[in-house]
Structure 1
């Protein structure tokens, strides 16, 4: 059964779904599906999405990351937010027709498959929520947008080779523009991921939640692998011969590693994952039990009592 707050997210999905229809319709029938309606639908959906996250945060007293459901919806919100920001900052309306159907599908899957059954087994103090979780999620969201851009790049390149100059080709920008935006989103996500992993390393060592061999935890290893892939991509991108299609293909690989980093630890015995629990949060640090001191009881002499004077 759905939590009452989750119905706000259901309304969000409805507007995202309608926006997806209008976005695709605008490509093939721009007169029937106007861009004005598209802007209204995605704006209302994004506001509802934010309302859900704020409500969930106020209720739990934490950022909306205490359950897998909240984390997934927070991640989806950041993706849409970054995409809308690109749309208005760079006058790039072509991204959302590719993105919103994907967001809608993942949102529906989140409601049907995730729910609130999986939660954190430890309490993450608010400092670490902002220093570790937020940069990680922002970095992954930027990489997801770069993945969508890479799919657009590969699609446009294929259409150019086949000389398929239809409505879809007309709606997509040039390969140079797509390549530049891929580069911008990757360079945005990489430093954020670096900050998140660095602060997570400090947290793991100081809290000792993941144990002494914290660096062998599956999620830590996958996070390091993700960092290495994008670090290599940035390094290779500086070369004159590594751009365009090569960058797009490596970006696709990097995205699948990001996805596996998010869901893989559930099946790999990671301590750094969401598990079934009736308690949403447990203490981050174990509470030491203070033994009670035994107070010696002095023998108090009992005075003689004259039972004959006691009235029954």
Structure 2
């Protein structure tokens, strides 16, 4: 199994590089090569995940390394599905810049054995479901973020009247706005359910609910920002550039929640 992870990283980097070259040069052959490399990456990621689960005799989601790896796997999976059904050329590229960053960052995160004092505490199906749902919501928000970045870039290109082949390969503004909204409408309830399950697990396993924990507070803040996004979209019928900026702000807070708040959390000591 030791060779699978580095090979996956290398192939993933070549795939993202291929999509970047296609973004700059409109090279369809490179685009197809990047897609097939990404497909191979997905197979290797899935194999790594299954083999690790069999070796450890548990679902590999408990360490920071495993969380980032699963996050990247979800992004690859969803971007391949989106590419198959919607054919928005650059969406796979922008989404997998985030996915590759997560997987590359996992190289520098702890991957040791779970401390014995936490083994019993973490041995809970409810905790696995909690983490899985939270990461699923993050993947949905990542796809929404990719659409919003593309929306902003295309909006700026249209303002500058930068007509060209690249502009048309972004997909229409309406398409990007709709995909972004659909991703948020999937991610928001998943994050909400994940938080509730976390509270339930904490009340049964840790005997208290960490309402003032930094990671909990920042997660509620993410829910609030995306809640405002949904309110403006559904109730006020707001569309366009400012909504894309609001979604981007929500994702940046999500990244802070994922990477920083855990460092100052008294409850999320391990993950």
TM-score (norm 2): 0.90
Cα pair distance change 1:61/1:117, threshold 3 Å = closer
Q: How far does residue 126 in structure 1 lie from its aligned partner after superposition?
A: 4.2
Question: How much has 1:124 moved relative to structure 2?
Answer: 2.7
What is the number of equivalent residue pairs in this alignment?
Answer: 268
1:254 pairs with one of 250, 253, 261: 250
Aligned partner of 1:114 in structure 2 is: 109
Provide the residue aligned with 2:197 in structure 1: 199
- Measure the CA separation in 2 of the matches of 1:202 and 1:126: 12
Q: Aligned pair in 2 of structure 1 residues 31, 199: CA closer, same or farther (>3 Å)?
A: closer
Q: Is 1:89 equivalent to 2:85 in the alignment?
A: yes
Q: Which runs of 5+ in 2 are unaligned?
A: none
Structure having the larger proportion of residues in helix: 2
For 2:268, the equivalent position in structure 1 comes to: 272
Q: Using the alignment, how far apart are the partners of 2:173 and 2:26 within structure 1?
A: 23
TM-score by length of 1: 0.79
From 194, 210, 216, the counterpart of 2:212: 216
Give the match's secondary structure for 2:29. Answer: coil
Question: 1:241 Cα shift?
Answer: 5.2
RMSD of the TM alignment (CA)? 2.2
1:136 touches 1:193 (CA, 8 Å); kept in 2? yes
Separation in 2 of the partners of 1:240 and 1:220?
29
Alignment partner of 1:228 out of 224, 228, 233:
224
Name the SS of the counterpart of 2:3 in structure 1: helix
8 Å Cα contact 1:50-1:77 kept in structure 2:
yes
Deviation (angstroms), 1:132: 1.1
DSSP-derived class of the 2:216 partner = helix
- How far, CA to CA, are the matches of 1:256 and 1:32 in structure 2? 32
Deviates more, 1:150-159 or 1:72-81: 72-81
Shift of 1:74: 0.6
Deviations 1:198-257 (CA, angstroms, capped at 9, x unpaired): 1111111122x2x53521111222222211221221111114452221221111111111
Runs of 4+ with >4 A deviation: 117-120
2:144 aligned residue (140, 143, 146): 146
Moved more, 9-18 or 115-124: 115-124
The unaligned stretches of length 5 or more in structure 1 are 276-312
Once the two structures are superposed, residues 59-115 of structure 1 have per-residue CA deviations (whole angstroms, 9 ceiling, x without a partner) of 22222212111111111111121111111122333211223333333322321x214
- Any idea what SS the aligned residue of 1:216 has? coil
- Cα deviation for residue 265 of structure 1 reads 3.1
